[in-house]
Amino acid sequence: MPLKLTLAGVDLEKTVAFYREILLFPPESIVPPAAESSFVTMFFGEMEVVFQDRNAMEARHPALFQNLTRDPFGVGIRLELSCVNLDDVYRMIKYYHWPIAYELDDQEHHRRELWLHDPDGYLLALTEEK
């Protein structure tokens, strides 16, 4: 069953640039927001990720937002993304001076992790199996 994930975003162009340029996760295809549209869709294999403009999302579905703390957005969500070469991603993160929340090199489990927040505050765990 393919996964479709919808997340609220503040600046959709910045979000797309972050995933493409900093994390080096080029989506297989992107449906950019149209002039009247308030969302962008990225496809990663069978997974579809939709970033919808947070203000438009709240205007359409106010009940979703009435009990949420706005900052940081996405509290309680951790998205784990597998990387083929975490060293390349790490270099781009450093190049763009993107803050890193946590680094782990787990020798026992042959796994590296790098945690950071995306532009909208979602916690990402970038992983690489050794």
| CATH code (residue 75) | 3.10.180.10
Residue 70 has pLDDT above 70, yes or no: no
CA 115 to chain centre: 11
Kindly report the CA angle at 12 between 9 and 18, in degrees rounded to 5? 95
Average pLDDT, rounded, for the chain: 83
Contacts for 69-77 with beta carbons within 8 Å, 24 or more apart?
71/121, 72/117, 72/121, 73/8, 73/10, 73/120, 73/121, 73/122, 74/7, 74/120, 74/121, 74/122, 74/123, 75/121, 77/122, 77/123
The model carries a pTM of 0.81
Q: How confident is the model at residue 98 (pLDDT cuts 50, 70, 90)?
A: very high
Distance between CA atoms of residues 98 and 113, nearest Å: 16
Give the per-residue pLDDT at 95.
96
Q: Which domain holds residue 31?
A: 4-129
Total domains, the chain = 1
Distance between CA atoms of residues 1 and 120, nearest Å: 27
Give the per-residue pLDDT at 73.
67
Give the per-residue pLDDT at 84.
84
Please give the average per-residue pLDDT across 98-102, as a whole number. 95
